[in-house]
Chain A
Amino acid sequence: MASRNPARPLSPHLTIWRWGPHMLVSILHRATGDGLATVGTLLFVWWLAALAGGAESYATFVDTFTTDTGKLNILGWIVGVGLTLSLFQHMMTGIRHFFLDIGAGYELRTNKTWAMMTMVGAVVLSIGYWLYMGMN
C-alpha cells in the first residue's frame, strides 16, 4: 500500500462539526465496545480461570475487588460500575444501530431523541441493576 500523501486534504472530522447527541453516542458505542472487548474480556477470562483454578485462585480474584467484609472496594466499584455502564450503553446503541440499519430513525428530531435515549437507558439500567444486586 502506498503511503498517504500528507499534503492531500482530509475529510471534515470531529473538530469541524458542531457536536450533537448522534456524534456522542456513535463515539460512545466505539469506546464502550473497545473497553468491553479489552478490559471486560480480561476480567471475564480471569474470573473463569480463577474459578477453574480452585478456591485459592478464586480468593485472589475476589480479594482484588472486595474488602475483608465482602463488600466491593474502590477498585471493585470503579470496574463494576464502569463495565455495567459500558455494557448497557453499548447494548442500547447497538439496538439503535439495528433500527438505523433498516433505514429507520434518520429524521433529525427522531435521531436526536433516540440518541439521547440510549444514554438515559444505559444510566437507568445500570442503576436498576445495582439496586437489584444490592437488595439481593
Chain B
Amino acid sequence: MGSGTQLGRVRGLGSAKEGAHHWLWQRFTAASNLFLMLWLLIAVARQPAYDYASMRLWVQSAWVAVPMLLLIASVFYHFRLGLQVLIEDYTHNESRVVSMLALNLFVLVTAGIAIFSILKIAFGAAA
C-alpha cells in the first residue's frame, strides 16, 4: 500500500464486509428493546407498592432479575450504537476518538454497576 491519497489507498480493496453490522444490530436490539421495555413498563405499573422491601422482593425473583439483565444487555447495546451515530455526526478528528472512548467508558461503567446491582439483589446478599 502506497502513500497516495486516502481514496487511492483503499481503491480496489473491496468493502470491509462490516458495513451493515451497526445498522443491523441497531434494528435487532430495537426489536428486543420493544418487548423488554413493554415488559418493564407494564410490570412496574402493576406493582402494588414501591417501597424498599417490596422492590427488593420484586427484583429478587428470577422472573424479574433475568429479564432485567437481558434488558440491560439489549438497551445498553442499542444506546451505545445510537450515541455512536451522534458522535460521528457532530465530532471530527481527535475529538471523535476521545468521545468514542468516553462513550465506551460510560456504557461499560453503567452496565457494570447495573448488572452487579441486580445480581447482588437476586443472589440475596444481606443488604
Contacts and interface: CB of A to CB of B under 8 A. Distances in A.
Is this pair of chains taken from one and the same complex? Answer: yes
Contact of A37 (B46, B82, B114, B120): B82
B15 interface: no
Nearest to B56: A51
Contacts of B116: 52
Contacts of A41: 76, 79, 110
Contacts of B59: 48, 51
Interface in A29-64: 30, 33-34, 36-38, 41-42, 44-45, 48-49, 51-55, 58-59, 62
B52 A59 contact: yes
Contacts of A97: 30
Contacts of B76: 41
A48 B45 contact: no
A15 interface: no
B95 to A, nearest CB: 12
Interface string B76-98: 10010011001000001100000
A132 B45 contact: yes
A53 B127 contact: yes
Nearest to B89: A30
A95 interface: yes
A51 B110 contact: no
Contacts of B33: 94
B41 interface: yes
A2 B6 contact: yes
A69 interface: no
Contact of A30 (B6, B34, B86): B86
Contacts of A5: none
Contacts of B93: 1, 3
Contacts of A8: none
B36 to A, nearest CB: 12
Interface of A: 1-4, 30, 33-34, 36-38, 41-42, 44-45, 48-49, 51-55, 58-59, 62, 87, 91, 94-95, 97-98, 101, 129, 132-133, 136
5 contacts: A1-B6, A33-B79, A34-B83, A34-B86, A49-B114
